[in-house]
Homo-oligomer: A and B are copies of this chain.
């Protein structure tokens, strides 16, 4: 829903080039809401509005623009003005944006930036995607351990404009190595003893991550310790950045979406659906679809193997899709549950016996319920005799039990092998159950009729 309440007014101010009113619009509300009111403007209009206010406010509002609009403004507007804006953006956000832009444009902009910003951007760009380094910001309250509470407060007060968070103060030694943490709360409650050095106040047993750590490991640590931000150190223990809670929420969401996409039977997109190129999308889906297709081809050969039985008892064919889909569905349910329990750390591989026992029991229960319905339908409308109709319920129980067992065990097995359990995606389980269903079904038929 786009907020169009103020659009006519904004456009009138732009037409009249009424800087004073535009400036007032930019500062009257909080920056997130200001950005919301601008959603209906074109990118060029939005930029024209921003230019009415000072550059630090511009950056604040800009960060709440939609991603596409941010990219458009950085790519198309006057380079010198854009560089001023980039210098004000958060260190992690601007690197993410620059990495999606045209290389020539990026080089042009980098040349216009102050040296310190340019170096900072180049350093952050060097970290591989998905690592702690690629998530972190270099803006943090980093103070030396010999400072007193009073000196620290003065320093923070001076720094506070440029920092994403000062909710933790990171205490380092002269080699920039992280020694401890003082919380803002502690600093405030130590106002009474303002000559105490930070070294005496700081907590020294702290959770950290290394720049090369995987982002999923980072999210787990932050969640486990309920942190607002986690410090990132390099191999020699030097503090190089922090990762803040809002980036962690994004990681949790993105990792879950990747799991869902794997469960849905494709490679994770890692980009928005409408933004990803059609050929890349075709590859990410086509590769898995083809693998699944070859698995499914096996069913044709399996069926041919049983062609005599199928000819003798022609009505059995009619129940083939039902058997397959029931096996696939019960397998999918079990797999989905085990995969989500594994990623939520509710379950570990060593629980496999309990899981198998539960799924076996559940399979018997669920299978029996469906078997009753299946038998009556088969007997009433399809099978020539009650005895022949019995093939359907017997198969159903076996297929559901087998589906629950396979669906629950395969993700555990994948985890045990050190692979992502979500790889054991629902379509694979369904594929396995297609073949298993055929084999069980026709063997039950042959045994019962012979």
Q: Which residues of B contact A324 (CB under 8 A)?
A: 321, 324-325
Query: How many A residues have CB within 8 A of the partner chain?
Result: 117
Write out, one digit per residue, whether chain A residues 245-284 have a CB within 8 A of any chain B CB (1) or not (0).
Answer: 1101110110011011101111001001110001001100
Which residues 314-359 of A sit at the B interface, judged by CB distance below 8 A?
Answer: 314, 317-322, 324-326, 328-330, 332-333, 335-341, 344, 346-347, 351, 354-355, 358
The answer to whether B304 and A321 touch across the interface, beta carbons within 8 angstroms, is no
| Residue pair A370, B32 in contact (C-beta under 8 Å) | no
A285:B366 contact, CB within 8 angstroms: yes
- Answer yes or no: A223 CB below 8 A from chain B CBs: yes
- Considering the chains assembled together, what is the distance between the CA atoms of A160 and B185 in angstroms? 7
A153 pairs with B191, CB closer than 8 A: yes
Give A96 Cβ to nearest chain B Cβ, in Å: 14
B residues less than 8 Å from A278 (CB atoms): 358, 361-362
Q: Chain B residues near A337: list those with CB within 8 A.
A: 261, 264, 266, 269, 273
Known A223-B249, A274-B346, A301-B381; further 6 A-B contacts with Cβ < 8 A: A261-B337, A264-B332, A264-B426, A290-B370, A300-B381, A317-B317
Give chain A's interface residues, CB within 8 Å of chain B: 28-30, 32-33, 153, 156-157, 160-161, 163, 166-167, 184-185, 187-189, 191-192, 203, 205-207, 222-226, 228, 245-246, 248-250, 252-253, 256-257, 259-261, 263-266, 269, 272-274, 278, 281-282, 285-286, 288-290, 292-294, 296-297, 299-301, 303-304, 307, 310-311, 314, 317-322, 324-326, 328-330, 332-333, 335-341, 344, 346-347, 351, 354-355, 358, 361-362, 365-366, 369-370, 373-374, 377, 381-382, 426-427, 430-431, 434, 438
